[in-house]
């Protein structure tokens, strides 16, 4: 499985291959570390904002997303902005577990029977040879992959993907033990970092944490519904991407709470800064593929959009997020047509608390998500925007598509609310009659509120008697108006003519 699916040349444009960076750093003074709000066990701890949670024992401590990021920044580690937590021991034990959540979409597990560990290892070793050339230029010692400490395997029942690689540099061996817990909208990355001598003893601790892990309601793998965003790669590519899988880290750390100091634990950190640009999967064997990829990486020109993504990620890795925002503005001139760029721009604006600008851009972002049929993700963005500004105004067509998607997904109340919002922010749009008709159907067929549905339909017919769908509207009203509670247009008072929902 050395080969990346066709076409190779499209993949390597804008994609920095697996970069292996190993840091050794002596203990830094405690005074250099920011004050952190450690949570002591035992109890459940939240991982991210309404994403998941897990349980920690009385012998462990937990740092939330913000503290995890601050601690990394304090020791010079570029952050991914995907950190959602860190667990370590209260005692002076050289291990820690980092949690990151990547909302790449629903990762299909149809490769579960075709993970070729030997082919993957061969690919990773060849990539390491290439990466070591870059390490040498930067004055770092070579890092060698010894082999699998634990071969990649997938649990179909729990939807967990697990593997561990053994690395060696300057006669020091290190292991990072990787777990990917698949969810509806992405995956949770759980990386245990320690030395080989300690790993086996720590497995029960890790197993307990994973067993107690659960996604919040609506976020689990089993709750996928048609129309949700699908990830552009699968299980094999997650393993091939390595321990970082887009984490954008140059080294991880161990915080010794009792000793009052931080050290860098030697680890293998597979960095794939343009991970979101992977278009397909490792699926076939080819002896020469890695060499071909390497050559193309060095020689093949990038298209403008992927070159821009390259520059953006470089700035993000350096922590220059405001410069990344300025770069996107200058290069796109306010016309973003690439969903990946749009998603990054949205994240950058939120990270830098530029909420008004983020709300403005979200109109474009919603259009792109809807165009790519990522309606579920579009609704999540829409809901977040409404939470910041109840008057948020998406484009009419996109908002109606979100409303229809919600109804089809069985979220009747959410569909009704989105439809009502349409009537408030686009009261004179050409689609307004269709939106009211749709609202009436939701009331009648999903929310069991026939009286309200009849009222909306009667007002709708009275207001738009010559609409293209007027005949259909009248027939629908007749259907739902049978019975003693039937409501006719003639029975409405003048004051009720404006009694639309909401």
Closest residue by Cα to residue 294 from 77, 42, 19, 74: 19
pLDDT at 415 over 80: yes
Please give the Cα distance from 272 to 44 (Å, whole number): 32
pLDDT at 485 over 70: no
What pLDDT, on a 0 to 100 scale, did the predictor assign at position 420?
Answer: 95
CATH class for the region spanning 3-297: alpha beta
pLDDT at 468 over 70: yes
What is the DSSP track for 200-240? HHHHHHHHHHHHT-EEPTT-BGGG--TTSPBPSS-HHHHHH
Q: How far is the first Cα of the chain from the last one, in angstroms, to the nearest whole number? A: 56
The encoded tokens of residue 71 equal 């601690």
pLDDT at 288 over 70: no
Question: Which of 39-43, 135-139, 145-149, 159-163 is least confident?
Answer: 135-139
Burial of 290 (0-12, 13-18, 19+ CB in 10 A): buried
Of residues 307 and 211, which shows the higher confidence score?
Answer: 211
Mean pLDDT computed over every residue of the chain: 74
Burial of 494 (0-12, 13-18, 19+ CB in 10 A): exposed
Q: Residue 183 — very low, low, confident or very high, per pLDDT cuts 50/70/90?
A: very high
What's the predicted TM-score (pTM) here? 0.50
Q: Residue 433 — very low, low, confident or very high, per pLDDT cuts 50/70/90?
A: very high
Which run of H or E residues covers position 462? helix 450-463
Tell me what the mean pLDDT of segment 328-342 comes to. Answer: 90
Q: Residue 52 — very low, low, confident or very high, per pLDDT cuts 50/70/90?
A: very high
Alpha-carbon torsion angle 262, 19, 101, 230, nearest 10: 180
Please give the Cα distance from 238 to 107 (Å, whole number): 9
**3-297 and 304-498 agree in CATH topology:** no
Tell me what the mean pLDDT of segment 71-85 comes to. Answer: 67
pLDDT at 195 over 80: no
What pLDDT, on a 0 to 100 scale, did the predictor assign at position 124?
Answer: 76
* Beta carbons of 269 and 244 less than 8 angstroms apart: yes
In 167-194, which positions are buried (b, 16+ CB within 10 angstroms) versus exposed (e)?
bbbeeeebbbbbbbbbbbbbbbbbbbbb
* Beta carbons of 176 and 268 less than 8 angstroms apart: yes
Give per-residue pLDDT as tens, 230-243.
887 788 888 876 43
Please give the Cα distance from 448 to 434 (Å, whole number): 20
**Domains in the chain: boundaries:** 3-297, 304-498
Tell me what the mean pLDDT of segment 374-397 comes to. Answer: 93
Q: Residue 72 — very low, low, confident or very high, per pLDDT cuts 50/70/90?
A: low
Q: What kind of architecture, by CATH, is found in domain 304-498?
A: Alpha Horseshoe (1.25)
* Beta carbons of 173 and 132 less than 8 angstroms apart: no
């Amino acid at each position: 499985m050395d080969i990346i699916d066709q076409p190779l040349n499209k993949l390597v444009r804008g994609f920095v291959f697996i970069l292996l960076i190993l840091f050794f750093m002596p203990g830094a003074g405690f005074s250099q570390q920011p004050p952190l709000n450690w949570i002591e066990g035992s109890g459940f701890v939240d991982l991210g904002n309404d994403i998941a949670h897990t349980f920690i024992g009385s012998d462990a401590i937990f740092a939330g997303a913000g503290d995890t990021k601050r601690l990394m920044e304090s020791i010079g580690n570029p952050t991914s902005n995907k950190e959602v937590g860190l667990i370590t021991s209260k005692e002076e034990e050289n291990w820690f577990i980092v949690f990151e959540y990547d909302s790449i979409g629903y990762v299909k597990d149809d490769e579960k029977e075709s993970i070729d560990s030997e082919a993957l290892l061969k690919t990773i070793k060849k990539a390491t040879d290439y990466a070591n050339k870059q390490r040498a230029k930067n004055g770092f010692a070579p890092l060698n992959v010894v082999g699998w400490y634990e071969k990649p395997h997938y649990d179909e029942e729990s939807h967990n993907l697990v593997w561990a690689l053994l690395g060696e540099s300057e006669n020091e061996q290190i292991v990072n033990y990787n777990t990917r817990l698949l969810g509806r909208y992405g995956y949770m990355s759980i990386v245990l970092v320690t030395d080989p001598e300690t790993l086996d003893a720590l497995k029960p601790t890790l197993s307990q944490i994973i067993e107690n892990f659960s996604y919040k309601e609506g976020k689990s793998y089993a709750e996928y519904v048609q129309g949700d965003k699908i990830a552009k790669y699968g299980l094999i590519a997650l393993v091939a991407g390595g321990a970082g899988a887009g984490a954008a880290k140059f080294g991880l750390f161990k915080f010794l709470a009792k000793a009052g100091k931080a050290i860098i634990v030697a680890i293998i950190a597979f960095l794939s800064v343009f991970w979101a640009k992977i278009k397909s999967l490792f699926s076939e064997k080819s002896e020469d593929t890695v060499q071909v990829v390497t050559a193309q990486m060095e020689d093949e020109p990038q298209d403008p959009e992927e070159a821009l993504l390259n520059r953006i990620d470089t700035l993000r890795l350096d922590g220059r997020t405001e410069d990344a925002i300025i770069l996107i503005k200058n290069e796109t001139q306010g016309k973003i047509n690439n969903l990946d760029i749009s998603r990054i721009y949205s994240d950058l604006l939120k990270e830098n608390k530029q909420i008004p600008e983020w709300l403005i851009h979200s109109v474009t972002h919603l259009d792109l998500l809807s165009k790519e049929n990522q309606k579920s993700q579009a609704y999540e963005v829409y809901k977040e925007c409404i939470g910041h500004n109840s008057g948020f105004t998406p484009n009419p067509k996109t908002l109606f598509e979100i409303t229809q998607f919600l109804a089809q997904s069985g979220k009747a109340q959410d569909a009704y609310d989105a439809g009502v919002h349409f009537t408030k922010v686009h009261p004179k749009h050409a689609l307004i009659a269709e939106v009211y008709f749709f609202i009436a159907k939701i009331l009648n067929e999903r929310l069991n509120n026939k009286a309200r549905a009849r009222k909306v339909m009667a007002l709708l017919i009275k207001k738009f008697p010559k609409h293209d769908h007027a005949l259909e509207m009248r027939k629908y009203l007749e259907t739902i108006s049978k019975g003693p509670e039937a409501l006719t247009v003639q029975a409405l008072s003048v004051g009720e003519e404006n009694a639309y929902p909401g």
